[in-house]
Amino acid sequence: MVALATIAGLPSAIAAPPASAVSPPAAPASAPYLNKWLPVSTRVDDLLGRMTLEEKVGQMTQAERGAVDGDRDQITELKLGSVLSGGGSVPAENTPEGWADMVDAYQSKALATRLRIPLLYGIDSVHGHNNLVGATVFPHNIAMGATRNPRLVRETQEITAKETRATGPQWSFAPCVCVVRDLRWGRAYESYGEDPKLVTKMETGIEGLQGRHRRDLKSPEHVLATVKHYAGDGDTVFGSSTTDGYTLDQGVTVTDRRTFMKTNVAPYVTAVRKHDVGSIMPSFSSVDWKEDGVGNPLKMHAHKELLTGVLKGEIGFDGFLISDWAAIQQIPGDYATQVRTSVNAGVDMFMEPNTAPQFVETLLAEVRAGRVTMSRIDDAVGRILKAKFELGLFERPYTDRRHAGTIGSPAHREVARRAVAESQVLLKNSRRALPLKRGEDIYVAGVNADDMGNQAGGWTVTWQGQSGDIIPGTTILEGIEQYSRNVTYSEDASAPTSGSDVGVVVVGETPYAEGVGDVGNGHTLNLSDADKANIDKVCGAIETCVVVDVAGRPQIVTDRLPEMDAFVMSWLPGSEGAGVADVLFGKRPFTGRLPVTWPRSEDQEPINIGDRDYDPLFPYGHGLRTRR
């Protein structure tokens, strides 16, 4: 028996699963679904025809690693289709081997079921295999949007896929194809930009993860991708979130159908039709249609019109829908209602991190009561099995570790360093302050100059990310030191400035993820007092002054801009801070362009290209160039 957590509306006791003696016999080795030469659809149909209702419901269920780790037999007993690692949910040994051993141990439990259906292991590799210490950590998506380079995005995602799959997980909950329309959103950095056309252009990352053809999924270099969060997650109204402490995240998108399709759904059309994405995650947020009168927000996880009608119907999505973290529990009503509503709306697999046993029990009861049809169940399970066959999991369920040696390798880090360099946006450059000259005496100030955790941001080793020396790599300061032997570093600019030719002040944010980073609950777009003081001190004392912003989104610099000779947006570069130094010193040119509008003040948000009375500090697309 499995342990039960308590959630509202759940049956308090759950009957023991039927004894294995009652189950039908295991499939013979000659069963068509075990024959790798047969077409996937034939194998799916054959397997579906052999499965009991319990086995089907199990396939639709995803539990969190931490919930099954202590009692791994749950995977067998509940016949789980999938396990995930939430942000920071890592094995005791956070090494490639530790990961692969853990995933393989879970896999053996799935293979102990009657039909030996392999487990799918999912993880958020959102800027590299970021839960693994030692992985190559790339800039977050907003920075990749600044590169305007879809080939580079594909390349970074190829590396991410390779590093991820070599450690076990065959599925990443990425890329986010959210269109950020309000920078106060804590997930702004997960977006490629505010223009749906830019986001769509950057979807080459899907091919980087999955490969160009479905058959590439079998290779140890690729993983199944997920575009998320369908749809409207970046376009919610400030203050509309009902989640504690959040203002925008998980809130309500108030819109009309036409605008919604153009702004928020468009990236999904491309993800499905052009890149053949394998899975899609609905959004925590709700949609409230203007043409229906506003006032009736409907959670995306309950939105049959948008999930089944638009996505699976009109757009033709034939992969599967994975619910977000316990998101169905935000649908009004008791648990049975939440389960029934979401499955009938079109959700296929359910991320119920800590309540998988209750989910299984509840869905079984709903089907038996006739409130969920068998054809809906078969449709959901068929979609999930299709992915498992395409990934080659029936033939090779265990981790193919052959590429583990490439994790965090110099070759991979070199691509990340290039991505960092291409993502830097030069917003101001007066008196030719940049590029810096190698012989100059350089004075560096600001915590973010030398903080690996801060430059990597959220979703790095842990969900929220963390300041400090949390992963191997190069900080921005270490990058600068590769170019100059005369560097003085003073975090708070207290060291004497005399004799310095150039001051580099690195300002920015500390890590956060999701709604925790929403402006309004302690977070702000304004610079910290310490950062302002550093700018004032250094720019006041040293002839040439360069300010570098290490943050997930534009910060308000309007009143300090006149003091700066040069201003660079670095975003969240990840593990290779040397890429920042490469452009500062002119080894590579500045070519990045703003993927979002830079506001003059916090209360100018939301402000986006195309708005009436558009008067930002820097417009969308701004970015000065330098030569090599």
Beta carbon of residue 160, minimum distance to ligand BGC (angstroms, whole number)? 14
Is position 414 annotated as part of the catalytic site?
A: no
Residue number, 106 or 618, with CB nearest to ligand BGC: 106
Q: What is the per-residue binding string for ligand BGC in 499-538, x denoting contact by CB under 6 A?
A: ---------------x------------------------
Residue number, 83 or 583, with CB nearest to ligand BGC: 83
Beta carbon of residue 325, minimum distance to ligand BGC (angstroms, whole number)? 4
Residue number, 124 or 276, with CB nearest to ligand BGC: 124
209's tokens: 């993860």
Cα–Cα distance for residue pair 348/421, rounded to 1 Å: 40
Residue number, 443 or 463, with CB nearest to ligand BGC: 463
Cα torsion 351, 356, 360, 362: sign: negative
Q: What is the per-residue binding string for ligand BGC in 420-459, x denoting contact by CB under 6 A?
A: ----------------------------------------
Beta carbon of residue 514, minimum distance to ligand BGC (angstroms, whole number)? 6
For the chain, the farthest-separated pair of C-alpha atoms sits apart, in whole angstroms, at: 84
Residue number, 124 or 361, with CB nearest to ligand BGC: 124
**Which of the residues 107 through 126 are near ligand BGC (CB under 6 A)?**
124
C-alpha dist (Å) from residue 424 to 287, 565, 623: 35, 16, 9
Count of CB atoms within 10 A of residue 417's CB?
27
Cα–Cα distance for residue pair 79/163, rounded to 1 Å: 28
Residue number of the CB closest to ligand BGC reads: 86
Residue number, 89 or 510, with CB nearest to ligand BGC: 89
Name the residue among 506, 511, 510, 528 with its Cα closest to residue 581: 506
Asked if 424 contacts 569 with a C-beta cutoff of 8 angstroms, the reply is: yes
Does residue 463 interact with ligand BGC by CB under 6 A? Answer: yes
Q: Which of 77, 221, 324, 361 is catalytic?
A: 324
Beta carbon of residue 58, minimum distance to ligand BGC (angstroms, whole number)? 20
Beta carbon of residue 590, minimum distance to ligand BGC (angstroms, whole number)? 31
DSSP, collapsed to helix, strand or coil, labels residue 321 as: strand
Residue number, 124 or 531, with CB nearest to ligand BGC: 124
**Total number of residues that touch ligand BGC (CB under 6 A):** 11
Peptide bond into 231 cis (omega under 30): yes
- Quote the Cα angle for 464-470-475, to 5°: 110
**Which of the residues 211 through 230 are near ligand BGC (CB under 6 A)?**
228
Exposed, middle or buried by CB within 10 Å (0-12, 13-18, 19+), for 310?
buried
Residue choice 324, 366, 451, 565 for contact with ligand BGC (CB under 6 A):
324
Q: Which of 514, 531, 576, 582 is catalytic?
A: 514
Does residue 173 interact with ligand BGC by CB under 6 A? Answer: yes
Beta carbon of residue 330, minimum distance to ligand BGC (angstroms, whole number)? 11
Exposed, middle or buried by CB within 10 Å (0-12, 13-18, 19+), for 550?
buried
525's tokens: 């777009």
Asked if 248 contacts 241 with a C-beta cutoff of 8 angstroms, the reply is: yes
Q: H or E stretch including 153?
A: helix 150-165
User: If you count them, how many residues does the chain have?
Assistant: 628
Beta carbon of residue 9, minimum distance to ligand BGC (angstroms, whole number)? 20
Beta carbon of residue 177, minimum distance to ligand BGC (angstroms, whole number)? 12
Q: What is the per-residue binding string for ligand BGC in 62-101, x denoting contact by CB under 6 A?
A: ------------------------xxxx------------
C-alpha dist (Å) from residue 480 to 38, 419, 551, 556, 579: 56, 17, 19, 25, 10
Beta carbon of residue 103, minimum distance to ligand BGC (angstroms, whole number)? 16
Exposed, middle or buried by CB within 10 Å (0-12, 13-18, 19+), for 305?
middle
Cα torsion 106, 109, 111, 115: sign: negative
Q: What is the 3-state secondary structure (H, E, C) of 258-313?
A: HHHHHHHHHHHHHHHHCCCCCEEEECCCEEEECCCCCCCCEEHHHCHHHHHHHHHH
Q: What is the per-residue binding string for ligand BGC in 228-257, x denoting contact by CB under 6 A?
A: x-----------------------------
Cα–Cα distance for residue pair 591/425, rounded to 1 Å: 7
Compute φ and ψ for 427, nearest 5 degrees: -95, -30
Asked if 459 contacts 141 with a C-beta cutoff of 8 angstroms, the reply is: no
255's tokens: 């819109």
Residue number, 85 or 575, with CB nearest to ligand BGC: 85
Residue number, 321 or 404, with CB nearest to ligand BGC: 321
Q: What is the per-residue binding string for ligand BGC in 332-361, x denoting contact by CB under 6 A?
A: ------------------------------
Beta carbon of residue 512, minimum distance to ligand BGC (angstroms, whole number)? 12
Does residue 140 interact with ligand BGC by CB under 6 A? Answer: no
Beta carbon of residue 175, minimum distance to ligand BGC (angstroms, whole number)? 11
Residue number, 204 or 283, with CB nearest to ligand BGC: 283
Residue number, 520 or 589, with CB nearest to ligand BGC: 520
Asked if 229 contacts 514 with a C-beta cutoff of 8 angstroms, the reply is: no
Is position 324 annotated as part of the catalytic site?
A: yes
Burial 84-95 (b: 16+ CB within 10 A, else e): bbbbbbbbeeeb
561's tokens: 């801009």
Q: What is the per-residue binding string for ligand BGC in 266-285, x denoting contact by CB under 6 A?
A: --------------------
Residue choice 230, 325, 394, 585 for contact with ligand BGC (CB under 6 A):
325
Name the residue among 457, 590, 478, 476 with its Cα closest to residue 127: 457
Give me the active site residues, please: 324, 514
Which residues are at the interface with ligand BGC (CB under 6 A)?
Answer: 86-89, 124, 173, 228, 324-325, 463, 514
